[in-house]
Amino acid sequence: MASIPFVKDIHFTPGVPDRLAPGVRRVIANNPGPYTYTGSGTYIIGEGDVAVIDPGPDDNAHLEALLKALDGERVTHILITHTHRDHCGLAMKFAEATGAPLFGFGAHPIREKKHDAPALDEGADYSYAPDEIIGDSAVIEGPTWRLEAVHTPGHLSNHLCFALPQEKALFTGDHIMGWATTVVAPPDGDMSAYLDSLDRLLSRDDEIYFPTHGAPIENPKRFVRAVKTHRLMRDAQILDQLKKGRSTIMDITAAMYADVDKRLHGAAALNVLAHLIRLVRNRAVSCDGEPGMKATYRLSD
C-alpha cells in the first residue's frame, strides 16, 4: 500500500485560537470523532475585516468561541468548502450573529436525505443556502487579504478549496486531510472527479495546506502524489479481489480493510463503491444493472 505521509501530531485547545501563519488563525471545535479526527477547524483570515472559512458544526460553544476570538473585528465573508454539517452546520447562526454573507458553490447537491449517501458523522446540511454562489476562480478580497476559490469535486460535487496566494496556502476542506484519506461516497461523491481534482492540485504551486480536520500539511505535492498513488492502488486491489472470486462490496471491503478499525468499514465500503463505479465506467469491471451497494461485480471479459 502507498505510504502517505500523514500528519498525526496536532497541538491545540478546543475553542482557543491558534495563529498558524501571518493572517491565518484557527479555532477547532470540540467535535472529535472517527471522521472528524480532533474536530472541525474554523479558519480566520486577515485582521480587522476578516473572512471565516468553515464555521463548523452546529454547536453553541463553538459559536461562542468564534465570537470571542473575533471580538473587536468584523467578519465580511463566510466561506463554505462544502455542505457537510461538520463544516457548515453553524453557518446560518454564525451569519446571523455576525451579519456577514455566506459564500459557497451552492446548496447540497442531493436534496433529499433518502437519496443521499449514509451520514457517516453529522451528515449533510440540507437547509444550507449561500447568499452568494461562487465557482472556480472566484476572488474574495478584504483590505489585507485575497482568497481564490478552487473547485475540487470528488468528495462532493460542490467542494471548494480556497487559496491564499500571499502565503502560498490552500485551505483544503475535506479534499485533502492530513490525518487520513478522504471518503468519496456516491451518489454525489465521484472517484474519477476526485482523481482529476488531485491532478489539479498537483498543477498548482501551493506550499502549505490547511485542512478543516487535522494539522497543516507541508510539502503538499508529495502528499497529493501519495494520495493519488494510494487511490490507484485501491483500483488494483479491487480488481485482484474480483479475480479471487469476491463479487460483493461487503466481501471486498472485509478483505481489503481487515486491519482497519471496524467503525470505519462503512466509509470504506462507500469508497469501494466509488472505485467500482469508476471501474465500470472504464469497462474494466461489469455488473448487472447499475452499480450499487447490493450489486454483484465481475471482471469484464
When pLDDT is cut at 50, 70 and 90, the band that residue 1 belongs to is: very low
Do both 66 and 131 map to the same domain?
A: yes
Instruction: Check if the beta carbon of residue 75 is closer than 8 Å to that of residue 66.
Output: no
End-of-domain residue from the set 190, 214, 229: 229
In this prediction, residue 118 carries a pLDDT of 86
Domain annotation covers residue 13: no
Q: Is the pLDDT of residue 2 over 70?
A: no
Do both 164 and 241 map to the same domain?
A: no
End-of-domain residue from the set 229, 251, 283: 229
pLDDT tens-digit map of 35-84: 899 999 999 999 999 999 999 999 999 999 999 999 999 999 999 999 99
Do both 224 and 236 map to the same domain?
A: no
Do both 193 and 247 map to the same domain?
A: no
Domain annotation covers residue 6: no
Do both 132 and 142 map to the same domain?
A: yes
Set of cell numbers at residue 13: 485547545
Q: What's the structural domain count of the chain?
A: 2
Residue matched to cell numbers 470571542: 68
Continuous segment of H or E residues that includes residue 281: helix 265-281
In percent, the amount of the chain with pLDDT more than 70 equals: 99
Do both 140 and 269 map to the same domain?
A: no
Residue matched to cell numbers 456516491: 186
In this prediction, residue 109 carries a pLDDT of 96
Do both 263 and 126 map to the same domain?
A: no
pLDDT tens-digit map of 249-300: 999 999 999 888 787 788 899 999 999 999 999 999 999 899 999 999 999 9
Domain annotation covers residue 3: no
pLDDT tens-digit map of 3-41: 899 999 999 999 999 999 999 999 999 999 988 999 999
pTM of the model: 0.96
In this prediction, residue 119 carries a pLDDT of 84
Average pLDDT over residues 165-177: 97
Mind giving me the DSSP string for 200-265?
HHHTS---EEEESSSS-EESHHHHHHHHHHHHHHHHHHHHHHHHTT--SHHHHHHHHTTTS-GGGH
Q: What 3-state DSSP class applies to 157? A: coil
pLDDT tens-digit map of 140-151: 999 999 999 999
Residue-range definition of the domain harbouring residue 162: 18-229
User: Helix-strand-coil percent breakdown of the chain, rounded to 5?
Assistant: 30, 20, 50
Average pLDDT over residues 110-115: 92
Do both 126 and 274 map to the same domain?
A: no
Average pLDDT over residues 77-92: 98
Instruction: Check if the beta carbon of residue 90 is closer than 8 Å to that of residue 160.
Output: no
Do both 94 and 242 map to the same domain?
A: no
In this prediction, residue 288 carries a pLDDT of 87
Q: Is the pLDDT of residue 230 over 70?
A: yes
Do both 211 and 170 map to the same domain?
A: yes
Do both 68 and 194 map to the same domain?
A: yes
Set of cell numbers at residue 189: 461523491
Domain annotation covers residue 170: yes
In this prediction, residue 120 carries a pLDDT of 79
Q: How far apart are CA 56 and CA 105, in angstroms?
A: 17
Set of cell numbers at residue 225: 502524489
End-of-domain residue from the set 196, 229, 262: 229
Do both 271 and 141 map to the same domain?
A: no
CA atoms within 13 A on the CB side of 233: 11
In this prediction, residue 122 carries a pLDDT of 78
Position with higher pLDDT, 261 vs 157: 157
Domain annotation covers residue 177: yes
Domain annotation covers residue 5: no
Domain annotation covers residue 135: yes
Domain annotation covers residue 245: yes
- Closest by CA position to 154, among listed 180, 125, 183: 183
CATH, residue 247: 1.10.10.10
CATH, residue 24: 3.60.15.10
In percent, the amount of the chain with pLDDT more than 90 equals: 92
Q: What's the mean per-residue pLDDT of the chain?
A: 95
- The CA radius of gyration of the chain, in Å to the nearest whole number, is 19
